[in-house]
Amino acid sequence: MARYMSANQGILLQNGIFIALGSNLPGPWGSPEETLQRAVRELASCGVEIEKTSRLYRTKAHSEVEQPDFVNAVASVNSSMPADALLRVLKRIEAQAGRFLTVKHHHADHRWAPRPLDLDIVSYKSLVRNWLRGHPVRDAKLTLPHPRAHERAFVLRPLMDVAPRWHHPVLGLTAAALLARPTVRDTGAILDVDGLLVEMNSRRYSKDITSPRTEA
């Protein structure tokens, strides 16, 4: 029997915000796994409501330079802040995790440099921004949906955990359909799967949870 998505489920996916998290270097917040967990707490402390998190995926770095494997995940979140404001929050959290200090010293092309934390908006309430004729505009400050998420297994596979019925706002395909395309399979090959990024004891991860205190 065919299963259909309810109107409410469709609205939730249409209004959903999905954030990709990645790390392949230890930093001030600990190991890559600990850094991703801390990043979720930081998001919550900024008023971003965490709806659901994926499992942790260990993936091979997609780079010509030898570097450690990545730990990747995706979080489904809710926020009233505009996309540009959310991006600023993500960049601030990356900086707190030591992102820009490490990237500057490792690789000329920062997209493929190892880093303690990488946070990207995969999709923001199905908003389409800086796409033209089915392709992302080059060098835009913020492109929605993310200009390369549809090509990256390390984003698509955890996205399937949190939103299996989500459709790419431009391409119209689910994460599973995008992942099945031959051009995607070798992009950041998934090596292993671990537990959930965050053990959700309630339906939502409370925005009142604050980051652990550090000694002065």
* Phi-psi group of 172: left, alpha or beta (phi > 0 → left; psi -120 to 50 → alpha; rest → beta): left
Tell me the per-residue pLDDT of 64-81, one tens digit each, with 9 for 90 and over. Answer: 678 899 999 999 999 999
Active site includes 203?
Answer: no
Q: How far apart are the first and last CA of the chain?
A: 60
Q: Which of 58, 99, 152, 157 is catalytic?
A: 99
The CATH code for residues 8-196 is 3.30.70.560
Q: Which of 38, 118, 152, 161 is catalytic?
A: 118
Active site includes 99?
Answer: yes
> Can you list the residues of the chain whose pLDDT is less than 50?
1-8, 10, 103, 105-108, 201-203, 206-216
Residue 187: what pLDDT?
63
In the numeric block, which tokens belong to residue 90?
């993500």
Tell me the per-residue pLDDT of 15-43, one tens digit each, with 9 for 90 and over. Answer: 799 999 999 999 999 999 999 999 999 99
Q: Which of 58, 120, 157, 161 is catalytic?
A: 120
Q: pTM of this prediction?
A: 0.83
